[in-house]
Structure 1
């Protein structure tokens, strides 16, 4: 009865969180291909042939890796101990140690991540029961058997942020045990059920990139904005002139990447590279990467710097002197537009001008 109620509770929670996830349909900007550590508590429901108590506590510890958009692997250990639960015994316990490697099929990479799993490993089942007075033969029933084990199950992960979350799963572990007497008929395959819940810590992943909206084609190319700004004369000296080129990120980079696209390379080659090579009198060049306010601040800072360095490295490969180039990541600290409201397609589109790379060229050196 307890097992049926547990199944029902896990299923209800799973469906409730699934419905909440489907209605949200948001991209929460989590890193990808992360490693993660997982540890927590468990409840075991032993096979009926073991005559051991249900709802017995245990521990588990696992290491996981996000391999693809839908596949994870986890390798881990678990330990459970259950007291004997039969009138023919007077004390003793059943213990199970598991070492398993599991493959998970993950249905979503948003904050709620339902999955199914299957895996193989090894189990050690130890039985040590004291025979109650009045039962023959007296003494103790004991046995220890290490065997191949397989398990299947389902569960979910829920991420609070890009580093921390929880994982809960319900799995069935099939292995072998050996302790056959007139009181205990265990001599072969057993199937235990486990309910696990633990804290999850993610690390070592690729930074999340906020998708760039697709730009509608127009007769002219409004994505490239060129302007010349004269710095105000603050001392009696020849003013320094800065030629500024602003490029929308969507024109330079592939979707969700900090690698230059073929179109981006062509734009830089014609607009920047040729100018710097043909005119040696031009001064130093500052390359600024900018993001919008959406997403994690640390990830935005890293993304803006990577995009600035991608432009710098391309110019160097084209023959521009690297000593003249300085790459800076400014994250979302210098927006050119302000769009209030939570994340949505409208807000992402509105903030598009903030996702940019700015190239500033000194056209005249101060005296």
Structure 2
């Protein structure tokens, strides 16, 4: 396996970047598949699509050589795909739909995170139960970009996120924590693992979700349509390795965390893995892995028609997508049976019995 530490600079998914997607210049790269989450902070929460399939040999067993590296933002991820410098990234359903509407021939067949990773939190000590009370307030976010979940959640409370609040960039970690503690911001719009990291700093939060949260979609393993159509087996094998890693991680979080530290030693805490450090790493790990749970679904990677309809309708209401958009342009569930063709209980047993 090739393990890379490369990083790239980017911002949010913008029209100018989308316009740079110029046709099928995806570029095969021999036997190497270049893949990455759209973040350079590859935490324990990202283990299922970074460290675990490598450390446990899941991709190698499929005959794949996967070069994993973090990409700073969805824009850069899609630019890398379009320029032939990587094959697959993980992006949200909304980003895929927006990209396709702007001429990007993207495609997916696997929903990795089964719920949105975005979060809206307020300090528990503030006692905020209704986001309507934030009218006129300052709200923080790591980087200012379009966030349909945040817009919809505030809209349910009668708040126009563009006009009724002041949105400021805070970054993540200590600066965001300080802004919350000092009262510089009254709420924080971020993502699951970043919120968990602030909880590790001692902050306690109330979470705010829209009423239709369970009807929304999460992150998808996405690539150029021609790349996937020309070599569907590689895509299936990549996603099957991720699905196996999800099963392993859910069965033995502690082992998964230690394996992640082995692959990405820079993420190992200074104490080397004290009980407190394991507990903090597990909070971040579970903040994402809890979203992988199948629930009532049968297959890893699946997405419901009603969920797609809801997201399309939401984007149509904001003018980002035609209401009659045909989701089959980007979503191909025909891969799911093959992706899920493995012994889940055998992987879970491997995890439970893992001794390092």
After TM superposition, the score normalised by the length of structure 2 is 0.26
Bigger-Rg structure (1/2): 1
Greater percentage in strand: 1
Higher relative contact order (CA 8 A, sep 6+): 2
